[in-house]
């Protein structure tokens, strides 16, 4: 068996959870089968250091002939890459796509090469209406591509039980074709590591506790709500916002203005605007008193695993897959909110949401013993339930099942 993995993100070009997922999944898969990765970027290498080869080919189609509206550039760029993905598939047993950016290539490969198509649900377009800001009418196309892919996929991997429900509800996928396989974590890499010099290099005082946020600047991550929560957080505490890769210049300016306002009224608010290397992030996780995940939409929330693996308790929202990671009152706290609707995840009562988030953060800030206890429980939970080795084996089992289903269909 040989897998072809289609992905937007792959090292060294990673900016979100989907890219992290693909990175670590392929590392484990190649211990058992050969893997070809087709991705967006300039990668071009063959790694034969493991048991099986890992071939990685990136495509970077910056075509000057694109004359459409600027917001559509990303869509045409993706479609261009997808054509090259489909034309580059070689002797694979299965095609495994990650995010809508690669779904069209998966559909083409399924039709042209008669190979089974598997999708992993990192998010769903109908649950991200704010992407209109980023893509304009391209959002209509990304939604159509995603819908077509789910209707035609031979197998679907849902990264959480909540996501499984969404796939069934949104696209009427047969539950028999879905397998829930959580995201995972590299336990050898993500562990408690201290380095006060790194803190000082970002103007973080090692002598004072700090609350940490890590994520892209996008509506779904809830960063604006966290910024509005800062005045309610214990004044003895620093707040460190590792927030970069904005969806649009507009949201970047909006968040920049919000941070600037709160920095004028309170000391100890640090904004790190670039996406940090994970060697640096694990140091920040380890030193943080509390990690906060204020997401309004989060199919899984791999970022929470990273913090928990570094013995840090997490305050997260009760949405998507986050409740499948955080055990409320044991490894951190969950904060509920009533959403405006099933497609608009903004909280109906933002003031209440922000107040409740601050209350849970303050409980941990003011109780070091509880923080230590929850941090230890967090590490233990991650080590027991979310290793990439287990997840890769479950993924391979699903590959084999889907291939078997397709073979039986052909025999009929």
Candidates 230, 209, 228, 226; CA nearest to 364 is 209
Same domain? 145 vs 21: yes
Same domain? 230 vs 376: yes
Q: How many CB atoms lie within 10 A of CB 373?
A: 14
Please state, in angstroms and rounded to a whole number, the distance separating the CA atoms of residues 195 and 217.
26
Same domain? 229 vs 176: no
SS3 content of the chain, % helix, strand, coil (to 5): 50, 20, 35
Please state, in angstroms and rounded to a whole number, the distance separating the CA atoms of residues 257 and 260.
5
pLDDT band at 282 (very low <50, low <70, confident <90, very high): very high
Q: Which helix (H) or strand (E) holds 384?
A: helix 368-385
Q: What is the pLDDT of residue 63?
A: 60
pLDDT band at 113 (very low <50, low <70, confident <90, very high): very high
Same domain? 202 vs 338: yes
Task: Please identify which residue in the block is written with the tokens 């939604």.
Answer: 143
Q: What domain range includes position 336? A: 196-385
Same domain? 143 vs 210: no
Determine the average pLDDT of the residues in 351-373. 97
Mean pLDDT of the chain: 93
Same domain? 157 vs 256: no
The reply to whether 190 falls in a domain is no
Same domain? 141 vs 235: no
Q: What is the pLDDT of residue 374?
A: 98
172: left (phi over 0), alpha (psi -120 to 50) or beta: left
pLDDT band at 342 (very low <50, low <70, confident <90, very high): low
3-state secondary structure 314-357: EEEECCCCHHHCCCECCCEEEECCCECCCCCCCECCHHHHHHHH
Candidates 181, 178, 166; CA nearest to 127 is 166
Structure token digits, residue 117? 């198509």
Same domain? 271 vs 219: yes
Please state, in angstroms and rounded to a whole number, the distance separating the CA atoms of residues 247 and 163.
23
Contacts of 350 (CB under 8 A, 6+ apart): 225, 228
Lowest mean pLDDT among 125-129, 158-162, 342-346: 342-346
Same domain? 266 vs 372: yes
Please state, in angstroms and rounded to a whole number, the distance separating the CA atoms of residues 200 and 217.
24
Nearest 5°: CA angle at 183, between 179 and 186? Answer: 140
The reply to whether 191 falls in a domain is no
Q: How far is CA 201 from CA 25, 117, 196, 204, in A?
A: 32, 46, 9, 7
* CA 323 to mean position of chain CA atoms: 15
Candidates 305, 307, 300, 304; CA nearest to 282 is 307
* pLDDT digit string, tens, across residues 52-84: 999 999 998 666 555 666 778 788 889 999 999
Q: How many CB atoms lie within 10 A of CB 408?
A: 9
Same domain? 342 vs 223: yes
Q: How far is CA 316 from CA 290, 326, 356, in A?
A: 10, 8, 11
Same domain? 337 vs 209: yes
Candidates 389, 400, 300; CA nearest to 2 is 400
**37, 7 contact by CB (below 8 A):** yes
Q: What is the pLDDT of residue 344?
A: 74
Number of domain units in the chain: 2
Q: What is the pLDDT of residue 338?
A: 84
DSSP 129-148: GGGHHHHTTHHHHHHHHHHH
The reply to whether 189 falls in a domain is no
Determine the average pLDDT of the residues in 369-387. 96
Considering the chain, what percentage of its residues have pLDDT values greater than 90?
78
Same domain? 242 vs 152: no
CATH code: domain of residue 85:
3.40.50.2000
Determine the average pLDDT of the residues in 133-157. 92
pLDDT band at 165 (very low <50, low <70, confident <90, very high): very high
Q: How far is CA 283 from CA 8, 189, 276, in A?
A: 27, 11, 11
* pLDDT digit string, tens, across residues 75-110: 888 999 999 999 999 899 999 999 999 999 999 999
């Amino acid at each position: 068996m040989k897998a072809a993995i289609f992905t937007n993100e792959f090292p060294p070009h990673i900016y979100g959870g989907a890219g992290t997922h693909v990175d670590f999944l392929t590392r484990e898969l190649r211990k058992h089968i050969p893997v070809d990765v087709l991705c967006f970027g300039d990668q071009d290498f063959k790694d034969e250091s493991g048991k099986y080869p890992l071939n990685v080919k990136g495509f970077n189609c910056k075509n000057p002939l694109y004359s459409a509206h600027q917001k559509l550039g990303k869509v045409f760029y993706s479609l261009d890459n997808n054509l090259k993905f489909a034309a580059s598939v070689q002797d694979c047993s299965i095609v495994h796509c990650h995010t809508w950016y690669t779904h069209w290539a998966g559909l083409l490969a399924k039709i042209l090469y008669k190979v089974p198509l598997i999708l992993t649900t990192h998010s769903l377009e109908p649950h991200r209406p704010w992407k209109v800001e980023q893509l304009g009418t391209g959002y209509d196309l990304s939604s159509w591509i995603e819908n077509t892919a789910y209707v035609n996929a031979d197998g679907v991997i849902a990264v959480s039980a909540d996501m499984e429900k969404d796939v069934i509800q949104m696209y009427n996928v047969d539950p028999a074709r879905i397998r829930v396989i959580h995201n995972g974590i590299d336990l050898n890499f993500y562990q408690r590591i201290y380095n006060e010099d790194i803190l000082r290099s970002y103007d973080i005082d090692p002598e004072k506790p700090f609350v940490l946020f890590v994520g892209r600047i996008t509506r779904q991550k809830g960063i604006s709500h966290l910024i509005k929560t800062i005045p309610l957080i214990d004044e003895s505490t620093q707040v460190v916002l590792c927030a970069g890769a904005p969806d649009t210049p507009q949201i970047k300016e909006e968040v920049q203005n919000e941070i600037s306002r709160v920095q004028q009224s309170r000391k100890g608010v640090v904004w790190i605007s670039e996406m940090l290397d994970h060697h640096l992030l694990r140091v920040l996780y380890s030193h943080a008193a509390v990690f906060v995940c204020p997401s309004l939409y989060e199919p899984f929330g791999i970022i929470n695993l990273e913090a928990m693996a570094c013995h840090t308790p997490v305050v997260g929202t009760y949405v998507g897959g986050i409740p499948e990671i955080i055990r409320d009152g044991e490894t951190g706290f969950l904060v509920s909110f009533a959403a405006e609707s099933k497609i608009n995840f903004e909280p109906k009562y933002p003031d209440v949401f922000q107040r409740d988030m601050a209350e849970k953060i303050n409980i941990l800030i003011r109780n070091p013993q509880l923080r230590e206890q929850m941090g230890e429980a967090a590490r233990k939970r991650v080590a027991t339930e979310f290793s990439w080795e287990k997840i890769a084996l479950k993924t391979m089992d699903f590959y084999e099942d889907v291939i078997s289903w397709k073979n039986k269909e052909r025999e009929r």
